[in-house]
Chains A and B, each alone.
Chain A
Amino acid sequence: MVHWSAEEKQLITSLWSKVNVEECGAEALARLLIVYPWTQRFFDNFGNLSSPTAILGNPKVRAHGKKVLTSFGEAVKNLDNLKATYSKLSELHCEKLHVDPENFRLLGDILIIVLAAHFAKDFTPACQATWQKLVGVVAHALAYKYH
């Protein structure tokens, strides 16, 4: 089980309370699809992903980004129980979606960059370190059911 210090929990929850889940989620997913275009292959049915402009304006991308980050919010609420929290999602990604776990790490790092852009000076190195730990354990929890 992952250990979180009081300071880490504080850094996570205080930043999270200021995150606009819909906006950040949409931006993070759009950036993933733009910066790492091969990830688009998981979203064949999303319609027009032909350019950064198309991706940024794509309503399915926005909706899915929101879904993904909302789920991330569950992690924030269940820091001491991440494996259980992501158990079903892990099975889904493994057995149905077949997403290589490396992509969870890529999306985690993209989220970090989105947070850096939004929170600027407030996203201090210490804050980033805590959030890198969080995205890492979320990625691990999502990959847990892979076999």
Chain B
Amino acid sequence: MTLTQAEKAAVIAIWAKVATQADAIGAESLERLFCSYPQTKTYFPHFDLSQGSAQLRGHGSKVMNAIGEAVKHIDDIRGALAKLSELHAYILRVDPVNFKLLSHCILCSVAARYPSDFTPEVHAAWDKFLSSVSSVLTEKYR
């Protein structure tokens, strides 16, 4: 799946806004993930997952930074996330299904904060973009 020029533009445009609240959106997305899909907490036995926890914010930040890197290198997401791809494949081994769940929660957080910007076209572009990111992160699994 490749992004069209229009889709890349839509991703980049929204990212400019999202980036201003990246930490909060990252933390909120994780909070949504753990609330709606409690089984995902299995990857964070060492974390304080309560609302507003420093670890939640810190990890949300990490996730959003990585997404930011993918946006910055939208023509070469594979290159930009190569190290993360290896990390997920060989060390974290996060079940692939969870990327869809987190992507969905990120879309919810973005939609909640930027409803008028989150048009159906932008929604489609972001869904595709996050799918691409997820693909890259799981492509070395086997």
26 pairs of residues in contact across A and B, judged by CB atoms under 8 Å? A31-B123, A34-B121, A35-B120, A35-B123, A35-B124, A35-B127, A52-B120, A52-B121, A52-B124, A55-B120, A56-B120, A109-B104, A113-B104, A113-B107, A114-B111, A116-B107, A116-B111, A118-B115, A119-B112, A120-B112, A120-B115, A123-B112, A125-B34, A128-B32, A129-B36, A132-B36
B121 near A125: Cβ-Cβ < 8 Å: no
Which residues does chain A contribute within 8 Å of B113, judged by CB atoms?
A: 120
Contact for B35 among A109, A113, A129, CB less than 8 A: A129
Q: What chain A residues lie within 8 Å of B34 (beta carbons)?
A: 125
Interface residues of B in 83-139 (CB under 8 A from A): 104-105, 107-109, 111-113, 115, 118-121, 123-124, 127
Interface residues as binary, A1-43 with B (CB distance below 8 Å gives 1, 0 otherwise): 0000000000000000000000000010011001100000000
Chain A residue nearest to B28 (CB atoms) is A125
Does B31 make an interface contact (CB < 8 A)?
A: yes
Which residues of chain A have C-beta atoms less than 8 A from B108's C-beta? 112-113, 116, 123, 128
Contact B112 A121 (CB under 8 A): yes
A84 contacts B by Cβ under 8 Å: no
Bound form: Cα–Cα A116–B107 in Å: 9
Interface-central residue, B104, B105, B108, B113, by most chain A CB under 10 Å? B108
In the complex formed, the residue of B with least CB distance to A34 is: B120
How far, in Å, is B89 (CB) from chain A's closest CB?
26
* A125 and B35 contact, CB distance less than 8 A: yes
Residue A117 interfacial (CB < 8 Å): yes
- A34 to B7 alpha-carbon distance, docked (Å): 13
Pair B111/A34 contact, Cβ less than 8 Å: no
Distance, CA A114 to CA B104, complexed state (A): 12
CB-based nearest A residue for B119: A52
The 5 closest A-B pairs by CB, nearest first: A125-B35, A117-B115, A117-B111, A129-B35, A116-B108
Q: Do the beta carbons of B123 and A113 come within 8 Å of each other?
A: yes
Chain B residues lying within 8 Å of A119, measured Cβ to Cβ, are 112
B118 surroundings in chain A (CB, below 8 A)? 117
Q: Let me know if B123 and A34 touch, CB within 8 A.
A: yes
When chains A and B are docked, how far (Å) is the Cα of A27 from the Cα of B34? 27
Chain B residue with Cβ nearest A126: B35
Q: Flag if A117 contacts B112 (CB, 8 Å).
A: yes
